[in-house]
Amino acid sequence: MTVVIGLTGGIASGKSTVSNMLKNLGIRVVDADQISREVVEVGKPAYQQILSVFGDEILHQDKTINREKLGAIIFGDHSKREQLNKIVHPAVRKEMLNGVEEEKAKNSKAVVLDIPLLFESKLTHMVDKTILVYVDEKTQLKRLMKRNGYTEKEAKMRIESQLPLHTKKDLSDEIIDNNGAIEQTEKQLHEILKKLI
């Protein structure tokens, strides 16, 4: 039986690092962010819907969507974020389920759905078990400012647009504490996988 694992975290919590570790172990990772970029490519149905809602001022000159511009609009506006989610989420879910079905057809031991907003989007029904990549708030803020060059205010705004990691902790089946060295993170991941697979 193929175990469907939901991998989640918060912005700058190190989820991508854990995702890469899983790939290196030969486990397929179906990445919601990557799919969400693919479903909004020029000519795809979601692309047309986004343009009809947000207008063409969110486009680069080559007609691709300027994610920074769109991000700036939706981060400060809950109803606009909802509108975008209603367009993008169903298309992403469909692609993710296709990935799961492909792995089940191959009788893979596991498939990982990498979903940053697993709990916020109420997608736990799509997975058998959840793993949270956790860091404390100070570490998260520091990493995000360093990684993206944000001011403290910009970084806090983005962190606050997601469920707090300490809240996600209570909702998760397994937790990887990513405050320490990468070796510790890897060790925790191996222990969790032994338990789940």
Is 17 labeled as ligand-binding?
yes
Is 12 labeled as ligand-binding?
yes
Query: Among residues 39, 35, 50, which one has the least CA distance to residue 84?
Result: 50
Asked if 174 and 131 count as a contact pair (C-beta separation under 8 A), the reply is yes
Separation CA 92–CA 45 (nearest Å): 12
Asked if 79 and 132 count as a contact pair (C-beta separation under 8 A), the reply is no
Is 169 labeled as ligand-binding?
no
Across the beta sheet with 110-114, what order do the strands follow? 28-31, 110-114, 3-8, 129-134, 174-177
Is 129 labeled as ligand-binding?
no
Residue ranges at the known binding site: 12-17
Residue ranges at the known binding site for ATP: 12-17
